[in-house]
Structure 1
């Protein structure tokens, strides 16, 4: 039996298997039997797995194992967030950051307040803030007689997601969320800075440290030295921006590490004040944090992000959490005038409902999948993959998914080094997901007969190394790609 015959035999078998506990089984020469065997791998012993495979054209179920069991999806949740964003916000949606004033120009003076208003752009960088200051200077402004107000009220003040783990707090993927933020790189890891440490050749000498974007908003306690042992590390103390560097780094070596900041709006304030000073613009009033821009203000300068259909490329390829959280809150603002994660989750549910999905089977509390309160099944994920394939924006979304075995970083993404030399290479387009005890892989591929398939595999509560579970995922993807041989 080959995979192409599942339509005749698989439906009855999977229906029976669901009644018997969700594990289809047929002749040991069939693809369903191969999948059964793969799911009996010792790496999955004691774990819970939800796996579903469907025909992408008809939606027919070809294989299922615990298809309705809701599990923690990790970054597979980004499939829901980004698909909903493409629908709710639209593929041409752009984030904006605005420089506003309620004052009047008098020569080179601005008589009122100056407002820097963030509308949630997770891709804005220090150079963009410098460009905003340059635009103001090009209008002849050299003095602001009022206050400099940093308006991050487009989103709420909840900086972290629901039930995010405390040990993720200082990581770039656990960075705080703000409507006024800054990314240190073109991966758009907003809310973080890049710390570069270099060990001098002289053993025992302190390592040299540079922070980008350049700022004095963070303080250093540098006890790291050049020497043997490779024990160098960085820690940021909770509630502060004190970076503690310790351990040893081999002479001549260099380390670059992203570290999240406490209160990214404050970091933006520090950087923008630098940018104004570089342009020779003086602010005579106070720095005001979190003040809302009043009605009737004039837009003096504006920066816009790339359109959403371009932003989802680094988001999905690199599994960017900061961008995902910004999209969720932007959807909340768009649909309910509330820049909160909960309003965003309602917007996602609305999209799913419009596609005919059962929203009662989904629990979503953030945009990225970092929370363990998120719950979804392989049934729901394959429903989403099928629904997305019928949308006008599907090609852009599909192309943003990581491609198995493709070494180009912005093509292969998180799958770039997986499945090389297999039938899944440059075939599988899928989203990965990883947390302690959680692994996921969901997407699209083509079998040996040219038939398009969608599948979703979620694994929770494994105690082996995540790489062992991903090996099973890889074998599942290869089995599906080769089915019909």
Structure 2
């Protein structure tokens, strides 16, 4: 892929800012192979918005239905991540900190222990463990007071809950943002049948998560791809405890695992801290509660997140909705003013101002949470294509482009376009909702020229639409000079 990035650097100097002003000819009809693919899948051509824009070479752009307001699904993450690169900088980091309000003597902290969240999108269990290790290294072994969670970094918006799959709010991809987001609030359940004994483990081992094991052991057989194991969380009245009833059948020698989000942010974060702290030999005598770090509190330990360039790679490669929403609110928190009301409104304002400053038209742009996991978010293919063209000329073009999945290689594109000329030649962000299929990014043609491509399909029944979008990339790769 080095050749691709060399093309990016050379071409950036000569690329026009906005393709809407190009005087060159433009194809205004869909490629024949794409049109045929739509017909095979019984999808009207009007459902597809398409922009194919050459960034190097002298090929002719294709612009079809490009000024229609469409739902972009997760390709909206490109707007959020590119804006963050430009506005926060590629080396931006988030902080998570422990504070104390009392004296520390002989390993005993006489007072409360405060955990202050700073909006870190990637505070996983490994990094939380390291932070708690630092707390131990700084002399803390026992805490006589409470564990106080400071979750005040974000001014949270009141947004509707989204779910395409029938109201199952326990799915990890639906986890919302939080000032103190720990491990994406995910619990991993692993079920194993060892010689007829079914065991269930949960990670992290949060004490308030109980397991009711009702899985029936079955004789040894070929392990199915989808074991018949069902998880049914039952929450206590106060929401502090959850009993996960695990039922179904599992053959000897087989295993099953799944990820669920069954606790709220407060109880998950507190439970994870206590689980690791107990493993490290520490104790916290008091209760868990919310609060603010006092002004005179003493800093005990601090963890810095990975740089923003690593964060946007996780967001775009794997289409991580929670991290994208976390980044969106971080933009709001960094630039908010009193008139904004909350950090989502602040992020919307600052992104619009940034787009206008860089002469990127955004008439159709509607951002709700910045992840594309929304029925309200909108953009046009032309607007997204203009942004991709602008990003091509950015000093951070390489960082932005490398954050996207590589066709037939990794991320959400790893199984697409295998055994085609496009394999390894395109960095493409995907988007999927029940009524949306979308791709956006950069691709090379067979001559080595680089293109910006946006293809967004909105349709009530988009079955087979992924094949249509793959055909767009195949047709682009086969461009004649």
**TM bucket normalised to smaller:** 0.7 to 0.9
Change (3 A) 1:285 1:255: closer
**Residues 1:474 and 2:470 are matched in the alignment:** yes
- Map 1:288-437; keep pairs closer than 5 Å: 288-289=289-290, 291-336=291-336, 340-406=343-409, 412-437=410-435
Matches for 1:241-260 after TM superposition, within 5 Å: 241-260=242-261
Structure 1 partner of 2:112:
113
Tell me if structure 2 keeps the 8 A contact 1:176–1:264: no
Q: Structure 1 pair 464/339, CA: closer, same or farther in 2 (3 Å)?
A: closer
Alignment counterpart, residue 211 of structure 1, candidates 202, 207, 216: 202
Query: Aligned in 2, Cα 1:147/1:54: closer, same or farther, shift over 3 Å?
Result: same
Matching residue within 213, 223, 246 for 1:222 = 213
Cα distance, 1:242–1:68 mapped onto 2, change above 3 Å: farther
Whole-Å separation in 1 of the counterparts to 2:199 and 2:158: 31
SS of 2:333's partner is: helix
> In the alignment, is residue 459 of structure 1 matched against residue 450 of structure 2?
no
Distance 2:420 2:57 in 1: 26
Alignment of 1:105-184 (within 5 A): 105-156=104-155, 163-165=162-164, 167-183=167-183
Residues in 1 aligned to 2:336 and 2:157: alpha-carbon distance in whole angstroms = 17
1:17 counterpart residue number: none
The Cα of 1:384 is off from its aligned counterpart by 1.2
On the 8 A contact 1:177/1:191 being kept in 2, the answer is: no
Aligned residues: 447
Alpha-carbon offset, residue 160 of structure 1: 6.8
Deviations 1:409-445 (A, max 9, x none): xxx2111121122221111111011121211011111
Secondary structure of the corresponding residue to residue 480 of structure 1: helix
Look up the match of 2:19. none
Find the counterpart in structure 1 of residue 190 from structure 2.
196
Paired with 1:301 and 1:159, the residues of 2 have a C-alpha distance of 32
Give the Cα separation in 1 of the matches to 2:195 and 2:104: 55
The CA deviation at 1:41 is 4.0
Where does structure 2 lack aligned partners over 5 or more consecutive residues?
1-21
Q: Which has the higher contact order (CA 8 A, sep 6+)?
A: 2
TM-score (norm 1): 0.84
Distance 1:227 1:161 in 2: 43
Shift of 1:162: 5.1
Match of 1:53 in 2: 52
Deviation at 1:342, TM superposition (A): 3.0
**Residues 236 and 344 from structure 1, CA distance in 2 versus in 1: closer, same or farther, beyond 3 angstroms?**
farther
Residue 159 to residue 61, structure 1, CA distance change in 2 (3 Å) = farther
Cα distance change of structure 1 residues 156 and 225 upon mapping to structure 2, 3 Å threshold: farther
Partners in 2 of 1:218 and 1:446 — Cα distance? 49
CA distance in 1, matches of 2:378, 2:179: 26
- 2:167 is paired with a residue of what secondary structure? helix
The superposition leaves residues 132-186 of structure 1 with CA deviations (integer Å, 9 ceiling, x where unpaired) of: 2332222323343433211111124569765445635211211232221222xxx
Contact 2:176 2:325 in 1 (8 A): no
Deviation digits for residues 15-41 of structure 1 (CA, Å, limit 9, x no counterpart): xxxxxxxxx27xxxxxx4444444444
Contact 1:46-1:461 within 8 A present in 2 as well: no
Q: Give the aligned CA root-mean-square deviation in angstroms.
A: 2.8
2:446 maps to what in 1? 448
Provide the secondary structure at the position in 2 that maps to 1:167: coil
Residue of structure 2 equivalent to 1:4? none
TM-score normalised to structure 2 length = 0.85
CA distance in 2, matches of 1:283, 1:59: 67
Query: For residue 273 of structure 2, what is the aligned residue in structure 1?
Result: 272
Point out where structure 1 has 5 or more consecutive residues left out of the alignment: 1-6, 15-23, 26-31, 184-189, 407-411
The question of whether the paired residues in 1 share the 8 Å contact of 2:153 and 2:179 is answered with yes
